[in-house]
Structure 1
Amino acid sequence: MIPVLSRFLAGALLAALSGLATADCPRIVSQSPYISAALDWLARGHCIVGVSRYDTRDLPRTGGVMDPDAEALAVLDPQLVLTSNWAAAEAMQKVVPAGARLLQVDGFASLADAEAMLRRIGEASAVADLDARLAVWRRDWQAAAAAVGGQGRRALVLSACSAMPYSFGRGHYVGDAFAAAGFVVVESAPRLRHIRPGEEIEDLLSAVDVLDPEVVFSLDRKDAEQCNALLGLLPVPVIHLDGANFFHPGTGLVAGFAELADKLR
């Protein structure tokens, strides 16, 4: 039995949140920042009533991708819970409130997968002009990619501003994006390679030696205190880009290509 005070607080919270989602969209919980970014791009950001602990927006927290908070979800009374397919479907079904729809998406496998992710989220959140939005996005990113002019240069694409650097292969959205911009992505791992001691490639110098790129692209995180020191010692050009345009599939791609073209000029 829920205590009277707890019931009162839950009711008060729901009343306070009632204005966040309007009649034209469902009450949505987003369990990942990249899903929140997709909802913003789809003009469904105002439908979000709860977010994961990793999100920066000022909304109630509902745990993480792998450990959602069942009590927080129940209080928010969502109609749609969106999360990554990294979480086990059976575990998610146990914590999603009765009557709420659970939708798990990916988006990180390729550009086509990113578009499929945007479409699934758009359909689930009742975006009326979804086809038109996706058509414009596809046209714009293809034009922006063509303007980059990679010219078949061998490229190593890294995220080196975290605890351990990793590189992107063609089986990842980022690798596919750089291939679309005209580069030959040299990473041979199918999706991601973690570069760290004890692995086949132990550091960034070894990565350049083994994979033989003509240029290295570093996707930087604004919140990172520092990037890997070896970036400054690599014997090939290193071009730094705003990682935020690539870490969230689809939503920042046009801006990412525009910055890439500008840096190459």
Structure 2
Amino acid sequence: MNRLFLALMLLIFWLPSHALQIIDDRGVKVTLAKPPQRIVSLLPSLSETVCELNHCARLVGVDRYSNHPASLRALPQVGGGMDPNIEAIVALKPDVVLMSIASRASERLEALGLTVVALETKSHTDVRRVLDRVGTLLGVDDAQRVWRVIDAGVSAAAQSLPPKAKNLRVYFEVNRAPYAAGAKSFIGESLQRLGVQNIVSPELGPFPKLNPEYVVKADPDLILISERNFAGMLQRPGWAGIRAVRENRICVFPAELADIVIRPGPRMAEGARLMAQCIASKGLSQ
């Protein structure tokens, strides 16, 4: 008993009083002696979350797509979330690396002695949870204040649309494979709150890869797509007959606006407003 008591006391004294623990979205328990002061982020939405929680100064490196706020563009870029430059990350000596659970780099980074926190941000619920996880890491007491602003902004965007928007059938393409924003994605959930109908069935998942014929048969009233993915869309077999194409009901978001709409983070309310503007100007104007 005395040995057990001594071991417990040593463990208590060994761990700093301000040590923190979180369980990331892999189910991995991550323990840090103190809030990290040097952070590398490999996902734009996570970079934006750190900054929105007023700790942008702790970021020492980001992926090539992290561009908001503008100050991030001055930081070292360490590749992409799926193809990170491991040597560049190690050279930055981060206390923690934030990344998507979809990345395969976590094991390599951990084998090199780095601490990894992998997070999932596909739905509104995911965004709320990630805010809490990142807030805990940063030592922020009320990270949910950011969600309350997002939630209120999405509601305001929905209230800006008339009831007839409910009759509108919408297709949102996130990648020209084509991958779509399904009903269970954060984009699909925002569209649902805006009151429109998503042509992609919920059972297909958050971001399903579709056969282009699926969209032709669904015949959406409105298409939303980024400028970077728009090239060649109108030339797909059968797409000229889609109502949205025939009647020019297509919203093509330039790159800087597309980034807002497709990132599941602090700017989601702004993304909802952009989609509401699209619905009002293209979907309901004819």
Q: TM-score range by the shorter chain?
A: 0.7 to 0.9
1:184-203 paired onto structure 2 within 5 Å? 184-188=197-201, 189-195=204-210, 201=211, 203=212
Could you tell me the percent identity over the aligned residues? 23
State whether structure 2 residue 90 is matched by structure 1 residue 90: no
| 1:138 counterpart SS class | helix
Aligned length: 227
1:216-231 paired onto structure 2 within 5 Å? 216-221=222-227, 226=231, 228-230=233-235
Tell whether the 8 Å contact from 2:45 to 2:265 is kept in structure 1 after alignment. Answer: no
1:42-191 paired onto structure 2 within 5 Å? 42-56=53-67, 57-88=73-104, 89-97=106-114, 101-108=115-122, 110-149=123-162, 150-159=165-174, 162=176, 164-188=177-201, 189-191=204-206
Tell whether the 8 Å contact from 1:168 to 1:193 is kept in structure 2 after alignment. Answer: yes
1:82: how far off?
0.4
**Aligned mates of 2:224, 2:155 — CA distance in 1:** 22
Letter matched to residue 211 of structure 1: A
**Aligned mates of 1:120, 1:58 — CA distance in 2:** 26
Q: Residues 175 and 92 from structure 1, CA distance in 2 versus in 1: closer, same or farther, beyond 3 angstroms?
A: farther
Calculate the aligned-residue CA RMSD, in Å. Answer: 2.9
**Aligned mates of 1:104, 1:166 — CA distance in 2:** 23
Letter matched to residue 114 of structure 1: V
Bigger Rg over Cα: 2
Tell whether the 8 Å contact from 1:159 to 1:219 is kept in structure 2 after alignment. Answer: yes
State whether structure 2 residue 227 is matched by structure 1 residue 210: no
- Structure 1, residues 78-115: CA drift from partner, whole Å, max 9, x if none? 11210001124433422453xxx32111111x111122
Q: Residues 227 and 43 from structure 1, CA distance in 2 versus in 1: closer, same or farther, beyond 3 angstroms?
A: farther
Tell whether the 8 Å contact from 2:180 to 2:209 is kept in structure 1 after alignment. Answer: yes
1:254: how far off?
1.6
**1:235 aligns with one of 222, 240, 243:** 243
**Aligned mates of 2:260, 2:79 — CA distance in 1:** 25
**Aligned mates of 2:185, 2:66 — CA distance in 1:** 23
Unmatched runs of 5 consecutive residues or more in structure 1: 1-22, 196-200
**Aligned mates of 1:259, 1:65 — CA distance in 2:** 26
**1:253 aligns with one of 257, 268, 276:** 268
**Aligned mates of 2:89, 2:259 — CA distance in 1:** 28
Q: Normalising by structure 1, what TM-score? A: 0.73
Tell whether the 8 Å contact from 1:51 to 1:60 is kept in structure 2 after alignment. Answer: yes
1:262 is matched with 277
**Aligned mates of 1:147, 1:165 — CA distance in 2:** 30
1:3 is matched with none
Tell whether the 8 Å contact from 1:27 to 1:47 is kept in structure 2 after alignment. Answer: yes
- Of stretches 60-69 and 223-232 in structure 1, the one that deviates more from structure 2 is 223-232
1:186: how far off?
1.3
Considering fraction of residues, name the structure with more helix: 2
2:40 is matched with 29
Letter matched to residue 93 of structure 1: E
1:249: how far off?
0.2
- Structure 1, residues 15-48: CA drift from partner, whole Å, max 9, x if none? xxxxxxxx99621101122221222222222211
**Aligned mates of 2:149, 2:65 — CA distance in 1:** 30
Q: Normalising by structure 2, what TM-score? A: 0.68
